[in-house]
Amino acid sequence: MTARVKILGAGSIGNHLAHGSRGQGWAVTICDIDPAALERTKTDIYPTRYGAWDETIRLAAPDAVAGETFDVVIVGTPPDVHMRIAMAELATNPPRVMVIEKPLCTPALEDCRALAAKAAETGTVVLVGYNHCLTPNTVLAEGWLKDGAIGEVLTLDGMVREHWAGIFGAHPWLAGPQDTYLGFTRRGGGALCEHSHGVNIWQHFARVAGAGRVVRVSATLDMVAAGGAEYDRIAQVDMVTETGLVGRVVQDVITDPAIKRLRLQGTEGHIEWEVNAEPGADAATLVTRTGGTRREVLKKTRPDDFRPEIAHV
């Protein structure tokens, strides 16, 4: 049976996940409250990125499909409305799987417990779109870690430091951060939330290393108020896990060229995990005290960043 997918939000991420879903042969409906956004998807974003518009994709206002049931619902709206939309979907026609784009919510964490309770009540599996946990360089690094290649893990140090010009390049209809949630940390923007892949991949590898969950966090934010926006341009986050593993992540929206990497330091060597290590490629590097260096460069396209996420769904 062909899975039916509803994507709420016709912005950049909605198009990426629509394309990935079509790659699985799924029936895709993209919804947006703004007719101009739907038109932009059909005539600009999708054909520009993927070569041509896919005529099998249905475009609709949310109200037009309110009574329909879908196997998968993807929430690709601004984060300050994620919780409201997700709760409404679970209360009316709960899907088998719901994917909420990162970050899950704003820093206020409003309704997170209510969402977890509602998902448990309905039986819906709720996922958050941290796609880097599933990419080939992550899988490769996980294998080395599980094989004990670097011994006992002593610390993790990561960074997702990337000027947000690239984000606005993918959203040319926005004049700048003040035009969107991106320019407001409290709405789920700024370095802390927009580049939260950094915190997520740190947590992911900490769990793979057997260090457990994060139990203590401290952070320093470099706040900026300019042009009507108010956001953190740098977020430095220090974390401690339940087994006592200590490490940090730095995220920013000012570094150019971007640096996206995580180093896992062990007693017998280290692993370096990198996103966009070179144009069109991620990488993973293993350095051991006795075995030298092994570096794997993994070629990719932009759609490849989302294929493992959709396959996981």
HEC letters along 293-313: EEEEEEECCHHHHCHHHHHHC
CA distance 313 to 311: 5
Q: Does domain 132-304 have CATH number 1.10.3720.10?
A: no
Q: Which of 83, 61, 51 is nearest to 8 (CA)?
A: 61
- Quickly list DSSP for 133-150: GGSHHHHHHHHHHHTTTT
Which CATH number is 4-129's, of 1.10.10.60, 3.40.50.720, 1.20.210.10, 3.40.50.12780? 3.40.50.720
Q: Which amino acid is at 100?
A: I
* CA 173 to chain CA mean position, Å: 22
CB-facing half-sphere around the CA of 168: CA atoms within 13 A: 15
Query: Where do the CATH 3.30.360.10 domains begin and end in the chain?
Result: 132-304
CA distance 35 to 55: 17
CA distance 158 to 181: 25
Query: Where do the CATH 3.40.50.720 domains begin and end in the chain?
Result: 4-129
Which pLDDT tens digits describe the chain residue by residue (313 residues)?
A: 799 999 999 999 999 999 999 999 999 999 999 999 999 999 999 999 999 999 999 999 999 999 999 999 999 999 999 999 999 999 999 999 999 999 999 999 999 999 999 999 999 999 999 999 999 999 999 999 999 999 999 999 999 999 999 888 888 888 889 999 999 999 999 999 999 999 999 999 999 999 999 999 999 999 999 999 999 999 999 999 999 999 999 999 999 999 999 999 999 999 999 999 999 999 999 999 998 999 999 999 999 999 999 999 9
